[in-house]
Amino acid sequence: MPDSLFVRVHRSTNIRRDSIAAVRRKRRKRFVILQNGNQLPIGPRYTDRITATAQTGRVGGSETVTE
Over residues 44-58, the pLDDT tens digits come to: 888 888 877 766 655
Residue 30 belongs to a domain with what CATH number?
2.40.50
The residue type at 15 = I
Which pLDDT score, from 0 to 100, does residue 25 have? Answer: 86
Domain annotation covers residue 52: yes
4 Cβ contact list (under 8 Å, min separation 6): 17
The residue segments making up the domain with residue 58 are 6-66
**Cα dist from 2 to 5, 18, 27, 29, 63, whole Å:** 6, 13, 32, 27, 23
Domain annotation covers residue 1: no
Number of domains in the chain: 1
Per-residue pLDDT tens for 10-31?
988 899 888 888 888 888 888 9
Domain annotation covers residue 32: yes
Domain annotation covers residue 49: yes
Q: What is this structure's pTM?
A: 0.70
